[in-house]
C-alpha cells in the first residue's frame, strides 16, 4: 500500500516535471516490489494486477491515455491472463488513433475470452475508422452472433452497409462512364475487361452486371441472316415491334389505340430461336436491347428482387427517354411473372405475389413511353400470370416458335457445317429428313461434335480428313431431341387439365398430334391423345 500511496503523490506535480515524476514512479514501484521479494513476502500478483488495472481506468476516464496505457502494461506484466487490461489498453490506443496496435491487443482478448462480444464490436470500430468497411461489417456480425441484442453493433453495421452501398454506386458509376468512353472508341474488349475487374470487387453490383450484359450483346450477338425459318414470326415482329419503335413519332403511332400495346410473349420448345431471334432482330434494326437476366434480379432477401427489377426497368426507361428505340427483353419470364394461382398451390404465394405486383406496376408506368416495348420469352406460357398475359401487356401477341421444319433444318445444317472439311459433299436433304424434332440448338450441337471429331482425326493422322454424311447421321443417333421432351411434357400437362384448350396454338396442337403418332405411346393412352390432337 505504501508504494501506491507514494505513487499518487505525483498527481500534484507540475506539468514541467511530469516526465521526471513518471520515471520515478516506475523506479520506486520496482524497488518496493523487489524489497518485498527479498524479504520473502508473498505478493498476490493477481490482486496487484487488478489494482494497477483500476488505477489505469482512473487515468483513462480523465482522458490521460498514455498514463492509463502504462498502468495497463504493468497490470498485464503481473497477470498476462487479465483480458480486461488488454481490452482497456486497446480502448486507450484506439482513442489515440493507434488502431493497428489496438487490433493486436484485441486479438489477445479473443484468445483469452472468445465469446466477449464487446471485443468484436471494438475491432469493428477500429476497422471502420481505418476505412476497411467490409472487415468492420464482419466484426459487427461476430459481435451480434454472440449478443443478438447488441444495439450499438447493429447500428454500426447498418451504417457501414449504407456507406459500402453508397461507395459501390459511386465506383460503379465511374467505372461505367469509363467503359462507355472505351465503347465509343470501339475498344469493346478493353471496356469488358474494365467491367470484369470491377465485378470482382463488387460481384452483386446490378449496374455493372446490367451494363456488361448490354455490352456483350453488341460484341457477341450473331447477325440476322443466321436466323433460319421463323418467317411468320419475323413478320409479326416487324408489325408489332419494329415499326412502332422506329416510327414512334408518326401520327399513326401517337393515337390512343396504338398506346395500348406494350409487349409480346414468345413461347415454344427450348433451343428453337426465341432468344437469338429477338437479339438478332434488335441488332439488325438498330434497336437498343436491354435484357433482364434472372440471375441479376432474383435474390433471397425480402424486397431485394423487387428493387433490382425496378432498377432494370428504370435503366431501360432512361435509354428510351434519350430518344432511342428500346426492346426490354425478359427471358424465362415465367420466373418473374409466375402465376399467383399456381404459386398459392405451391405455398410460394408471398414471394410471387410481391414480385408480380411490382412487375405489373412497372408495366403500367411504360404507357407514356412510346419507343419502349417489352418482349418476354418462356417455355411454359401457361405458368405466366394471367394479368401479364392480357392484351395491353405481354398479351398483345402470344406467338408460338415452332421447331424447325425440314426446309429450315436443311438451312441450319448448311449454316453450321460450312466450316467443316467435306462440307461440299454432304447430303443436306438426307440430314434434314433424319432429324425430325431436332431444334436449332440440337443441330448446332451435332455439327460441332462432328467438326471436333474431324479436327482430332486430322491432327492424329497428319493428313486432311473430310466429314461424311454418315458421320452426322451417326452423331444424331446419340442425341435426344429437346423438342420431344418438351412436347411430351406439354401433352402430359394438358391431359392433367393444367393447360386450357384456348391456351394452345393450332400449330402446337398439330405438333403434339404428329409427335403422338410418331411416338405411339404417351402415358399409356396413346390412342386417346392421338385422337385429341388430330386437326
Name the band, by pLDDT with cuts 50, 70 and 90, for residue 19. Answer: very low
Rounded mean pLDDT, 122-143: 88
Name the band, by pLDDT with cuts 50, 70 and 90, for residue 445. Answer: very high
Residues paired with 373 in a beta bridge: 327
Tell me the range of 242-251, 282-291, 297-306, 464-473 where mean pLDDT is highest.
Answer: 464-473
Residues 39, 31: Cα–Cα separation, whole Å = 12
pLDDT of residue 89: 92
Q: Which three cell numbers stand for residue 161?
A: 452497409
Residues 150, 143: Cα–Cα separation, whole Å = 7
Q: Which three cell numbers stand for residue 248?
A: 414512334
* Helical spans, DSSP H, in 462-505: 469-476, 482-495
The count of other CB atoms within 10 Å of the CB of residue 37 is 11
Q: Does the pLDDT value for residue 259 go beyond 90?
A: no
Name the band, by pLDDT with cuts 50, 70 and 90, for residue 6. Answer: very low
Q: Does the pLDDT value for residue 38 go beyond 50?
A: no
Residues 395, 209: Cα–Cα separation, whole Å = 29
- The mean pLDDT value of the chain amounts to 78
Residues 139, 84: Cα–Cα separation, whole Å = 19
CA–centroid distance for 156 within its chain: 26
pLDDT of residue 170: 56
List where CATH 3.40.50.300 sits in the chain.
224-400
Place of cell 459501390: 168
Q: How does pLDDT run across 306-327, given as a tens digit for each residue? A: 888 888 888 888 888 888 888 8
Residues in the chain: 535
pLDDT of residue 447: 92
Residue 367 or 101, more confident: 101
Q: What is the CB-side half-sphere exposure of residue 290 using CA atoms within 13 A?
A: 22
Q: Are 167 and 137 in contact (CB under 8 A)?
A: no
Residues 74, 223: Cα–Cα separation, whole Å = 78
Residues 408, 412: Cα–Cα separation, whole Å = 6
Name the band, by pLDDT with cuts 50, 70 and 90, for residue 204. Answer: low
Instruction: Specify the range with the lowest mean pLDDT, choosing from 39-53, 80-94, 187-201, 471-485.
Output: 39-53
pLDDT above 90 covers a percentage of the chain that reads 6
Q: Hey, is 115 helix, strand or coil?
A: coil
Q: Does the pLDDT value for residue 166 go beyond 50?
A: yes
Q: Does the pLDDT value for residue 109 go beyond 60?
A: yes
pLDDT of residue 275: 86
Report CA-CA distances (Å) from 93 to 66, 113, 367, 425.
8, 20, 61, 82
Rounded mean pLDDT, 224-237: 74
Q: What is the DSSP string of 314-325?
A: HHHHHHHHTT--
CA terminus-to-terminus distance, the chain: 108
Alpha-carbon torsion angle 388, 392, 394, 398, nearest 10: 120
Out of 3.40.50.970, 1.25.40.10, 3.30.360.10, 3.40.50.1820, the CATH code matching 2-161 is 1.25.40.10
Q: Does the pLDDT value for residue 79 go beyond 70?
A: yes
**Architecture label for domain 224-400:** 3-Layer(aba) Sandwich (3.40)
The count of other CB atoms within 10 Å of the CB of residue 431 is 23
pLDDT of residue 37: 44
Rounded mean pLDDT, 414-428: 89
Sheet-wide strand order for 263-267? 288-292, 326-331, 372-378, 263-267, 398-400
pLDDT of residue 232: 85
Q: Quick one: which of 132, 70, 82 has its CA closest to 111?
A: 82
The count of other CB atoms within 10 Å of the CB of residue 93 is 23
Q: Hey, is 41 helix, strand or coil?
A: coil
Task: Provide the CATH number for the domain formed by 406-476 in this structure.
Answer: 1.10.8.60
List where CATH 1.10.8.60 sits in the chain.
406-476
The count of other CB atoms within 10 Å of the CB of residue 459 is 10
Sign of CA dihedral 318, 321, 324, 328: positive
Q: Looking at 359-428, which runs of residues are DSSP E strands?
A: 372-378, 398-400
pLDDT of residue 453: 92
Q: Which helix (H) or strand (E) holds 93?
A: helix 83-95
Rounded mean pLDDT, 167-173: 64
Rounded mean pLDDT, 209-213: 69
Report CA-CA distances (Å) from 363 to 108, 262, 374.
57, 8, 9
List where CATH 1.25.40.10 sits in the chain.
2-161
Q: Which helix (H) or strand (E) holds 267?
A: strand 263-267
pLDDT of residue 56: 87
pLDDT of residue 169: 58
Residues paired with 290 in a beta bridge: 328
Instruction: Specify the range with the lowest mean pLDDT, choosing from 23-27, 283-287, 427-431.
Output: 23-27
- Taking CB atoms within 8 Å and a gap of at least 24, the contacts of 507-515 are 507/400, 507/402, 508/268, 508/400, 508/402, 509/533, 509/535, 510/535, 511/402, 511/403, 511/487, 512/487, 515/437, 515/484, 515/487, 515/488, 515/491
Amino acid at each position: 500500500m505504501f508504494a501506491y500511496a507514494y505513487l499518487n503523490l505525483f498527481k500534484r506535480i507540475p506539468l514541467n516535471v511530469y516526465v521526471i515524476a513518471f520515471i520515478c514512479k516506475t523506479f520506486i514501484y520496482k524497488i518496493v516490489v523487489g524489497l518485498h521479494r527479498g524479504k520473502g513476502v508473498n505478493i498476490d500478483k493477481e490482486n496487484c494486477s487488478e489494482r494497477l488495472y483500476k488505477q489505469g481506468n482512473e487515468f483513462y476516464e480523465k482522458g490521460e491515455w498514455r498514463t492509463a496505457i502504462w498502468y495497463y502494461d504493468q497490470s498485464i506484466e503481473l497477470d498476462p491472463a487479465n483480458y480486461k487490461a488488454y481490452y482497456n489498453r486497446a480502448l486507450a490506443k484506439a482513442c489515440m488513433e493507434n488502431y493497428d496496435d489496438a487490433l493486436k491487443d484485441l486479438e489477445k482478448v479473443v484468445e483469452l475470452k472468445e465469446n466477449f462480444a464487446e471485443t468484436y464490436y471494438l475491432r469493428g470500430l477500429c476497422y471502420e475508422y481505418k476505412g476497411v468497411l467490409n472487415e468492420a461489417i464482419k466484426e459487427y456480425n461476430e459481435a451480434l452472433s454472440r449478443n443478438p441484442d447488441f444495439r450499438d453493433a447493429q447500428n454500426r453495421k447498418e451504417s457501414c452497409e449504407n456507406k459500402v452501398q453508397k461507395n459501390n454506386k459511386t465506383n460503379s458509376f465511374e467505372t461505367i462512364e469509363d467503359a462507355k468512353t472505351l465503347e465509343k472508341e470501339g475498344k469493346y474488349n478493353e471496356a469488358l475487361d474494365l467491367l470484369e475487374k470491377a465485378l470482382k470487387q463488387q460481384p452483386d453490383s446490378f449496374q455493372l452486371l446490367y451494363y456488361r450484359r448490354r455490352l456483350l450483346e453488341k460484341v457477341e450477338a450473331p447477325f440476322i441472316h443466321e436466323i433460319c425459318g421463323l418467317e411468320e414470326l419475323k413478320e409479326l415482329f416487324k408489325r408489332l415491334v419494329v415499326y412502332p419503335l422506329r416510327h414512334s413519332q408518326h401520327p399513326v403511332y401517337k393515337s390512343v389505340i396504338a398506346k395500348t400495346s406494350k409487349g409480346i410473349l414468345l413461347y415454344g420448345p427450348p433451343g428453337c430461336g426465341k432468344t437469338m431471334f429477338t437479339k438478332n432482330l434488335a441488332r439488325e434494326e438498330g434497336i437498343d436491347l436491354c435484357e433482364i437476366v434472372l440471375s441479376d434480379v432474383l435474390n433471397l432477401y425480402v424486397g431485394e428482387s423487387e428493387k433490382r427489377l425496378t432498377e432494370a426497368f428504370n435503366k431501360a426507361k432512361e435509354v428510351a427517354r434519350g430518344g432511342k428505340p428500346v426492346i426490354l427483353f425478359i427471358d424465362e419470364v415465367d420466373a418473374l411473372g409466375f402465376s399467383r394461382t399456381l404459386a398459392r398451390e405451391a405455398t410460394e404465394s408471398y414471394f410471387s405475389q410481391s414480385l408480380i405486383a411490382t412487375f405489373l406496376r412497372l408495366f403500367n408506368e411504360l404507357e407514356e413511353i412510346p419507343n419502349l416495348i417489352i418482349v418476354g420469352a418462356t417455355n411454359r406460357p401457361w405458368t405466366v400470370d394471367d394479368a401479364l398475359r392480357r392484351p395491353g401487356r405481354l398479351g398483345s401477341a402470344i406467338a408460338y416458335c415452332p421447331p424447325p421444319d425440314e426446309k429450315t433444318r436443311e438451312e441450319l445444317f448448311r449454316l453450321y457445317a460450312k466450316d467443316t472439311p467435306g462440307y461440299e459433299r454432304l447430303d443436306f436433304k438426307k440430314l434434314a429428313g433424319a432429324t425430325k424434332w431436332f431444334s436449332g440448338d440440337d443441330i448446332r450441337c451435332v455439327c460441332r461434335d462432328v467438326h471436333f471429331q474431324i479436327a482430332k482425326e486430322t491432327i492424329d493422322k497428319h493428313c486432311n480428313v473430310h466429314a461424311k454424311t454418315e458421320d452426322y447421321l451417326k452423331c444424331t443417333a446419340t442425341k435426344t431431341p429437346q423438342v420431344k421432351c418438351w412436347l411430351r411434357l406439354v401433352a402430359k400437362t394438358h391431359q392433367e387439365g393444367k393447360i386450357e384448350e384456348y391456351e394452345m396454338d393450332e400449330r402446337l396442337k398439330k405438333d403434339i398430334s404428329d409427335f403422338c403418332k410418331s411416338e405411339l405411346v404417351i402415358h399409356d393412352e396413346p390412342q386417346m391423345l392421338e385422337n385429341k390432337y388430330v386437326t
